[in-house]
Amino acid sequence: MSSKRAVAVFGGGCFWCTEAVFESLRGVSSVMPGYAGGQTINPNYEQVCSGETGHAEVIRVEFDPSIISYEDLLTVFFASHNPTTKNRQGNDVGTQYRSIILTTSDEQRDQAQAFIKKLDEGSPAGEKVVTEIEPLETFYEAEAYHHHYFQSHPDQAYCQFVINPKREKVRAHFRKLMNEGGVE
C-alpha cells in the first residue's frame, strides 16, 4: 500500500455529519473535526457557534491519492450536503455551517473551481453553488468530544435522523468508494 498522504479540508454543515461520511471512504486514513476559515485564534465550539469567529465547522481529511482522488472527495462532498444554500444545512443555520472548501494547493483550488463550474452549468433548476473556496491558513482541531461523534453516539436522535441518512445516501450512490470497515 502507498504511504503517500494528502490533506483536504471541507465544511458542509455540522462536522459530525461530514466526519461520519468521510470516515467511511476507502483511502481515507484520518478525519478530524475542527474549525477554519475565520479570524479568531484557537476558537472553541461555543465561540464558533456564536457565529462571531468567522470560522466554519470543517473536517480535515488525510487521504491516499493513489486510492481515492481529490475529485472523488469533491464528488462525495457535494453529494452529501446542499451547496446551494448560503450559511445553512437543514436546521443548522449560521456562517459556521457554510459550504466551504479550504484548499492546500493551487491544484486543489483549480479542481474545486472547475468542479463548481461544472455543477453550475449542469444544474437543471439553475441553482448556483455558493460554496466558498479559500486557501487553508490555519486548522484548529475541535474538542475531543466531537471526534468520531457518530461512532460514539449512534443511537442519539441527531445521529439517527440527520447523520445516518447522509451516510446511507453516500453509500447507495458511491459504493465503489466505500471502505466498509471504516477509516483505514
Nearest residue to 111 (alpha-carbon basis) of 82, 139, 133, 86: 133
Q: CA angle 97-17-57, nearest 5°?
A: 35
Between CA 91 and CA 13 the distance in angstroms is 10
Q: What Rg value do the Cα atoms of the chain yield, rounded?
A: 15
Between CA 104 and CA 111 the distance in angstroms is 12
Catalytic site positions:
14
Phi/psi of residue 102, nearest 5 degrees: -105, 110
- Do the Cβ atoms of 153 and 7 come closer than 8 Å? no
Between CA 146 and CA 66 the distance in angstroms is 29
* Amino acid, res. 62: E
Cβ-proximal residues to 126 (8 Å cutoff; 6+ apart), any chain: none
List the grid coordinates of 108: 486543489
